[in-house]
A and B are shown apart, each in its own frame.
Chain A
Amino acid sequence: MSYILSPPVRTTCAHCGEDCPESDHPGAVPRFCCSGCRTVYTLLREHGMENFYRLDPAAGRSQRRYQRDDYDWLETEALAATLARYHDEEVWRVELELPAIHCIACVWLLERLPNLLPGVRRSQVDVTRKRATIEFDPRQTTLRAVAELLADIGYPPVLRRADTRQAGAADRSLLYRIGVAGFCFGNIMLLSFPEYLGLGEDAGATLIGRAIGPGMLLLSLPVLFYAATGFFRDAYTGLRLGRITLDFPIVVGMLALFGRSVYEIAGGSGSGYLDSLAGFVFFLLIGRWFQSYTFTRLSFERDYHDYFPIGAYRRDGAGNLEAVAVADVRTDDVLIVRPGQIIPTDGILLAASGAGIDYSFVTGESKRKRTAPGQAVFAGGRATGKALTLRVTRSADESYLMQLWRDGRRAGDAPVGPPHRMVGVFTGAVFLIALCTFIFWYRSDPATAYRAAVSVLIIACPCAIALAAPFAYGSLQRLLGRAGYYLSSAATIDRLAGVNTFVFDKTGTLIDSGVGHALTWMDSSRKGEAPVFLAMCRYSTHPRSQAIAAALAAEGMEAPTTTAPAEEEGRGLHLCWRGRVYRVGRADFCGLQDLPPGTYATVDGKAVLRLDTRPPRLRPGVRGALRELSTRGKVYLLSGDDPPKDNFWEAYFPADQLHFRMSPFTKQTFVEDLQRSGNRVLMVGDGLNDTGALRTADVGMAVSEDESAFSPACDAIVSARRLGFLPSVLLTCRRLRWVTRIAYGLALLYNLVGLSYAVSGALSPVVAAILMPASSITIVLVASTGAYLLYRHDLYHPGS
């Protein structure tokens, strides 16, 4: 294709398709937004893999915002082996999570990894789970090389200990059960055909007629003793906890069906209701499967192991560095944390000249931390500037941050279903009707009495009721995913419908995280000097320095290796390099006069650029959402920052519902206090510091700019652009309760019709075989259509 060999002149990056910054070489093609993208492009060209760009011209991942991780510790085989699913001398198999996977071209590129790196034998991508299974030969390459290559081409792996459990084992068991139930259901129906056509009486006399009954019985055994075991177990668990769950009347109905059928077949009086039994189980299992849907590409159960490094560098007595697993780090070990790495344990700094620690990931707020020897540091901070040396005071599992996870951990969700009281009343009514029927018939006709009573139990089996909630909630859960709201389970919808208090974290949740600063070039002829500023600012942990560094890196600049700048606390940075004087800081620090306050960068006293701080801006739609929510319940704002001087937030929140200087623990306690006074709380946050509050709240919702990126453990992940829809989503969840109520009403109506046959002792297998699937299918249709119509009405916006 010619356009690959000579791409048209355009101002977007040839690799990632993002806008290119102004280039020093206008007209040069292909254009790149940064040198990282250029590297990948060249690498792919060298290996004859330009077709990557044919699949999607902007398929690549931008390399601009990407900070390279340190994979040195993977050289230590004992550590690398913990990541492998299988390894021996000839082959290693690893499953790596690559959150950057997003499109067809990703699959194409990643599955051609063997072309890029000799020694890689096979690479298989799973798009939905965002994982790649990679097999390589340890004699030719190493896990470190694989990880570094993946990072270089824009797919930095998230390294985590290999999951020893078989992936998806639980789902597979359910699939097997559905297969068995479906097989038996179909074949029992086939054998029931003479009965359906009214030939049962005649066939009973023949050999075939006599063979059919035992045949059906044989086919029903796997249904009852394999496919349906889950319902027996759930009913038993419920009873042991002193609760009547919906599984109980279902199990009673199944046993009545089976017992009655065995009695009829053994006595030669009929062929029983085994088709209905198998159909029941089949439909109910499909309901369970539908409900078990999760957004596999998102992870709602991140814990600290996923965020913290697996390996750390320990200095032994002789001063040598060795890579060890963080789990093996003990108190009083001496660790070296390199720039860019995350501190794995709490400790005390031994040496840290000029080093800084960035806690923004833990606290979510951009506060600066100065470092000094003897100072306590906490796990979760990222070392910036220089390497830190620290003595461990608490092992990783006991660290301050871990307490956030330990507290407020919630048990898994129960499956959705009708309220407990309804189940109790229903079960009681069924037994009462069965008893009355029995007493009514017993005097005149004992045989009919038994038959009618058992028929009542059979026909009242609440299969349809059990299907209503899974299909209604499951459908809405899928549809909400389209609207940018990803819920961890269908039961979250029910809890969302009940919340009446709303708590928001500030930074990153209500305001855009990246728009607080603006960079202005004052002398663009000196842009060539700007990379030095980037290098200087990287040494500093001051938020302004970080903002300048981020802005320069976003322009595609690369920092040269310089010496560390001198830092004057609160004023600025100063560096003499290659005969020139570079300064970054306040106007008076830079020697500039008559200029508005701001942060400036100068070369030899001449201003090159200025950093302005813009006022915070709410995310789109949030203003209206806040107003609407405040009509539903109290809306609180929690922030770890100091209160702003301009009372920005008082336009949106009543003053007594604004809380500043909140630590992760006080946030959690705040939510607990609200719950104690009877409120049901929706917590919306984004940082790791919100984890405790997110877990404690009735619903914890994490806001994410990029759904594939890290988000703390929560019940729901919402795409940041869609936060404004929150009131509509809550409304839909509340309205969905009406859909399930209508479905329950219909199911009860079917039950009443069936019961009228049953109490009169006239329930024939054919009536049962028609009524039961008909009711189940009606309910499934009503529940899923209802959920869809609600979504269309409240949330569907064409083109959004």
Chain B
Amino acid sequence: MIVILLLILLSLLIAGGFLLAFFWAVGTGQYDDEVTPSIRILFDSEYTTNDD
């Protein structure tokens, strides 16, 4: 049964990883603008004339 303790810790660890990922996303401003990226993805790559 002690293995459940391990599983709980593991699940906490994974969930914590997602929490950190969320923090990173907020911190890098990915929630500041929720509209433009959805527009940008619509442009076909052929439209881009020079990408660096």
* A interface residues, how many (CB within 8 angstroms): 35
Report yes or no: A104 in contact with B39, Cβ–Cβ below 8 A: yes
Residues of B close to A179: CB separation below 8 A: 19, 22-23, 26
A128's partner among B16, B19, B26, B33 (CB-CB below 8 A) is B33
A111's partner among B29, B34, B40 (CB-CB below 8 A) is B40
Query: Complex Cα distance A205/B7, Å?
Result: 19
Report yes or no: B2 in contact with A126, Cβ–Cβ below 8 A: no
Chain B nearest CB: distance from A290 CB in Å?
Answer: 15
- B10 CB–A CB distance under 8 Å: no
Report yes or no: A104 in contact with B42, Cβ–Cβ below 8 A: yes
Report yes or no: A115 in contact with B15, Cβ–Cβ below 8 A: no
Residues of A close to B43: CB separation below 8 A: 55, 108
Query: Complex Cα distance A186/B4, Å?
Result: 17
Report yes or no: A175 in contact with B31, Cβ–Cβ below 8 A: yes
Query: Complex Cα distance A49/B47, Å?
Result: 8
Report yes or no: B5 in contact with A207, Cβ–Cβ below 8 A: yes
Chain A nearest CB: distance from B52 CB in Å?
Answer: 8
Annotate A165-177 by CB proximity to B: 1 below 8 A, 0 otherwise. 0011001100110
- A67 CB–B CB distance under 8 Å: no
Residues of A close to B29: CB separation below 8 A: 168
Report yes or no: B42 in contact with A172, Cβ–Cβ below 8 A: no
Residues of B close to A114: CB separation below 8 A: 50
Considering only CB atoms, which chain B residue lies closest to A103 in the complex? Answer: B39
Chain A nearest CB: distance from B32 CB in Å?
Answer: 5
Given contact pairs A175-B26, A176-B23, A125 touches B36 in the complex (Cβ within 8 A): yes
Considering only CB atoms, which chain B residue lies closest to A47 in the complex? Answer: B49
Annotate B2-26 by CB proximity to A: 1 below 8 A, 0 otherwise. 1011001001100110110011001
Report yes or no: B23 in contact with A126, Cβ–Cβ below 8 A: no
Query: Complex Cα distance A180/B26, Å?
Result: 12
Given contact pairs A175-B31, A179-B22, A187-B12, A127 touches B39 in the complex (Cβ within 8 A): yes
A49's partner among B11, B33, B49 (CB-CB below 8 A) is B49
B1's partner among A55, A128, A208 (CB-CB below 8 A) is A208
Query: Complex Cα distance A328/B19, Å?
Result: 48
Query: Complex Cα distance A494/B16, Å?
Result: 41
Query: Complex Cα distance A55/B46, Å?
Result: 13
Within 8 A of B (CB), among A84-138: 104, 107-108, 111-112, 114-115, 124-129
Report yes or no: A207 in contact with B2, Cβ–Cβ below 8 A: yes
Considering only CB atoms, which chain B residue lies closest to A104 in the complex? Answer: B39
- A518 CB–B CB distance under 8 Å: no
Residues of B close to A55: CB separation below 8 A: 43
Report yes or no: A107 in contact with B31, Cβ–Cβ below 8 A: no
Report yes or no: A167 in contact with B39, Cβ–Cβ below 8 A: no
Report yes or no: A172 in contact with B35, Cβ–Cβ below 8 A: no
Residues of B close to A513: CB separation below 8 A: none
Query: Complex Cα distance A111/B26, Å?
Result: 23
Query: Complex Cα distance A114/B36, Å?
Result: 18
Report yes or no: B49 in contact with A172, Cβ–Cβ below 8 A: no
Residues of A close to B8: CB separation below 8 A: 190-191, 215
Considering only CB atoms, which chain B residue lies closest to A131 in the complex? Answer: B33
- A183 CB–B CB distance under 8 Å: yes
- A206 CB–B CB distance under 8 Å: yes
Report yes or no: A211 in contact with B31, Cβ–Cβ below 8 A: no
Chain A nearest CB: distance from B9 CB in Å?
Answer: 9
Query: Complex Cα distance A742/B47, Å?
Result: 54
Residues of B close to A124: CB separation below 8 A: 36
A127's partner among B35, B47, B49, B50 (CB-CB below 8 A) is B35
Report yes or no: B19 in contact with A180, Cβ–Cβ below 8 A: yes
Chain B nearest CB: distance from A181 CB in Å?
Answer: 11
Chain B nearest CB: distance from A86 CB in Å?
Answer: 15
- A516 CB–B CB distance under 8 Å: no
Residues of A close to B11: CB separation below 8 A: 187, 190
Report yes or no: A128 in contact with B23, Cβ–Cβ below 8 A: no
- A51 CB–B CB distance under 8 Å: yes
Report yes or no: B49 in contact with A48, Cβ–Cβ below 8 A: yes
Report yes or no: B23 in contact with A167, Cβ–Cβ below 8 A: no
29 A–B pairs (Cβ distance < 8 Å), ordered by A:
A48-B49, A49-B49, A51-B47, A104-B39, A107-B39, A108-B43, A108-B47, A112-B49, A115-B50, A125-B36, A126-B33, A127-B33, A127-B35, A127-B36, A128-B33, A128-B36, A171-B32, A175-B31, A176-B23, A176-B26, A179-B19, A183-B15, A183-B16, A187-B11, A187-B15, A206-B1, A207-B5, A208-B1, A211-B5
- Please give me the 7 A-B residue pairs with the lowest Cβ-Cβ distance, nearest first: A126-B33, A183-B19, A127-B36, A179-B22, A175-B26, A51-B47, A128-B35
Known: A112-B49, A127-B39, A167-B32. 15 other contacts (CB 8 A): A51-B47, A55-B43, A107-B40, A108-B47, A115-B50, A126-B32, A126-B33, A128-B36, A172-B31, A175-B31, A179-B22, A186-B15, A206-B1, A208-B4, A211-B5
